[in-house]
Amino acid sequence: MPFSSIDDLKQRLDAGETSAEELAGLYLDRIEKHNASLNAFVHVGFEQIMAQARASDSYRAKHEARPLEGVPIAIKDIFCSTESPTTCGSRILEGFTPAYDAHVITQLRKAGAVLLGKTNMDEFAMGSSNETSAYGPCRNPWDTDRIPGGSSGGSASAVAAGLAPAALGTDTGGSIRQPAAVTGIVGMKPTYGRVSRRGIIAFASSLDQAGPMTRTVKDTALIASIISGHDAGDATSVADAPSVDWLGACDKRNMKGLKIGRPEEYFIDGMDAEVRQKVEAALKQCEEMGAEIIDISLPHTEYAVAAYYVIAPSEASANLARYDGVRYGRRCEDPKDLADMYTRSRDEGFGDEVKRRILTGAFALSSGYYDAYYRKAQQVRTLIRQDFLNAFGQVDVIATPTSPVPAFKIGEKTDDPITMYLSDVFTIAVNLAGLPGLSQPCGFANALPVGLQWIAPAWREDIILSAASAYESATDWHAQHPKAYGGAGA
């Protein structure tokens, strides 16, 4: 049962074979047993989680079950929710429990889900390895010496190790897809504007988007159907977004005649050879299932990482200004004066990577440098968006590796931020263009999971879900789980 899909759990709950209370108990037991080796969860309120589960069971007894009735879902520590501290992996928010729920948390509660604690993450979602967390690194259940990816590393690790059936993550430059890829699960970043950002602690407002991390494509579709939709409280949540038949798209499983673009810039020297081989093999399999593989070019891809590391830190430098020790969060002891309070509170509260990005962002926005950095980066962003528009004139969907390498060793890249930043080289452009992207398992490289990334035009998550479901139904990569945590292994 720990590795069941939501779909399975729902059937068992509906059949009365299990209860929300039993499920919550099962996952809490597993968390208790395995979290020490993974460090996937940072806040788990055992009592209140059991209370949520019992409330769901009594709801089920009296009413018709809601779409996620009794299903436990782990939540990245970036989503504000009233039942638990929300600290964004940072010391500066130590002890902060919001007085409000994020919009998507409200949606999950309304759907009957049980919120299964807060998962570890890179501090303020700034990282690709979960090593910048104030709570220490989270580990990959396939090899606990290795990173689970980031920034939604805790969510990925929890789902991959069977500590939760599903989780919520956020994705600013690949933070859902890359950890999903390196832990062997499914993760989707919806189109920018599809999911409300209200109540999600902001990293880079024009790039952040929340999404599901699950075992199967259908589970991803199910959670997406709950958390998506217009929210008048977020001006960037699009009011008249084309709707998607989430579950219907999964049932279509369409590969026949599908035009899949294979961008040359995503199959390059320097990437892991085995990763490349697995992704090529996946494409071959799609072709055998009736898809047409078309070589395309996204010529500005090489500038994506540079543009991202100007735009995201610039926005972050402003978004993180509110953590000043005045109203909430950490305040240094015995400040001498205002400047001392600001300086020491922020110096003590933020980790190195967050400081690096705040400084980078503040620099890029400074008078005299703005045109050379921020404005230029925005121009690059336009070109990247244009690249995708051109490509989608030719193909229905694009397939690429999600990450150029499988999970690397903890500590391997921490001293070299630039190499670390390149972990996101295949995911970042999707955020810059605001497009939907999904990663699904497509094999193993040296016994470590490899992810296949699907990219579609804006608002066409249905094309991704249909193709990914088709691939999933023809393979069993998604059904393999780490042995050390009770799975069948790879």
User: Which stretch, 1-9, 23-31, 361-369, 381-389, contacts another protein (CB under 8 A)?
Assistant: 361-369
Task: Say whether residue 114 binds another protein (CB under 8 A).
Answer: no
Count other Cβ atoms within 10 Å, centred on residue 236: 15
| Set 4, 5, 56, 76: catalytic member | 76
Q: How far is the CB of 96 from another protein (least distance, A)?
A: 7
Which one of residues 197, 330, 460, 481 is an interface residue with another protein (CB under 8 A)?
Answer: 197
| Set 84, 175, 225, 345: catalytic member | 175
Site map 229..258 versus another protein, x via CB under 8 A: ---xxxxx----------------------
5 given a catalytic annotation:
no
Residue 313 structure tokens:
């830190």
Q: How far is the CB of 203 from another protein (least distance, A)?
A: 11
Interacting positions 258-317 with another protein (CB under 8 A): 314-315, 317
Nearest C-alpha neighbor of 188 from the set 436, 475, 477, 449: 436
> Any idea of the CA torsion for 347, 353, 357, 359, to the nearest 10 degrees?
40
Q: How far is the CB of 200 from another protein (least distance, A)?
A: 5
- How far is Cα 305 from Cα 325, in angstroms, rounded to an integer? 32
Element holding 473 (H helix, E strand): helix 461-474
Task: Say whether residue 365 binds another protein (CB under 8 A).
Answer: yes
DSSP SS3 for 170: strand
**Contact indicator for 193, 180 with CB cutoff of 8 Å:** no
The residue (of 135 and 374) whose beta carbon lies closer to another protein is 374
User: Which stretch, 24-32, 56-64, 156-164, 363-371, contacts another protein (CB under 8 A)?
Assistant: 363-371
The string of DSSP letters for 193-218 reads TSB--TTBPPS-TTT-EEEEEESSHH
76 given a catalytic annotation:
yes
| Set 19, 90, 133, 151: catalytic member | 151
Burial of 64 (0-12, 13-18, 19+ CB in 10 A): exposed
228 given a catalytic annotation:
no
Site map 310..329 versus another protein, x via CB under 8 A: ----xx-xx-xxx-x-xxx-
**Contact indicator for 83, 46 with CB cutoff of 8 Å:** no
The string of DSSP letters for 368-381 reads TTTIIIIIHHHHHH
The residue (of 59 and 96) whose beta carbon lies closer to another protein is 96
DSSP SS3 for 392: coil
The residue (of 57 and 324) whose beta carbon lies closer to another protein is 324
Residues annotated as catalytic (active site), given as ranges: 76, 151, 175
Binding site for another protein (CB under 8 A): 80, 86, 88, 93, 96, 98-100, 102, 197-202, 204-206, 232-236, 314-315, 317-318, 320-322, 324, 326-328, 338, 342, 362, 365-367, 370, 374
